[in-house]
Amino acid sequence: MKATSAILITTLAAAVFIGCDKKEPAAPKADAPKTEAPKAGADVKTAAKPYTLDVCIVTGEKLGSMGAPVVYVHEGQEVKLCCKSCLPDFKKEPAKFVAKLAAKK
């Protein structure tokens, strides 16, 4: 009985010490996409040109169909995406998508 109690106490003590060693979660990256507010990459001094479409500039999906739209500001132009998976595609060829936006205005 004493051996079992000693093993149990030792195991619990080890679990407490191991649990205390956990590090705090890392802060989100500054360039991580934001949903709705605040606008990622937005300059506080200048307001971004509003996004006028009701669809994702990358996929053409209706905004809101996959949850809250991801809002990103590229060179002073607000861009709304249907999901965060579209952001890397947008960042690969932003000129292509911004031109698409300009053509639909």
Tens digits of pLDDT across the chain (105 residues): 667 766 767 665 665 556 555 455 555 555 555 544 444 554 444 688 999 999 999 999 999 999 999 999 999 999 999 999 999 999 999 999 999 888 776
Tell which residue, 30, 95, 45, has the closest CA to residue 79. Answer: 95
Residue 37 lies in a domain: yes
Q: What is the model's pLDDT at position 97? A: 92
Residue span of the structural domain in which 81 resides? 33-103
Read off the pTM.
Answer: 0.55
Residue 21 lies in a domain: no
What's the structural domain count of the chain? 1
Residue 3 lies in a domain: no
Residue 18 lies in a domain: no
Task: Determine phi and psi for 36, rounding to 5 degrees.
Answer: 65, -60
Residue 40 lies in a domain: yes
Residue 15 lies in a domain: no
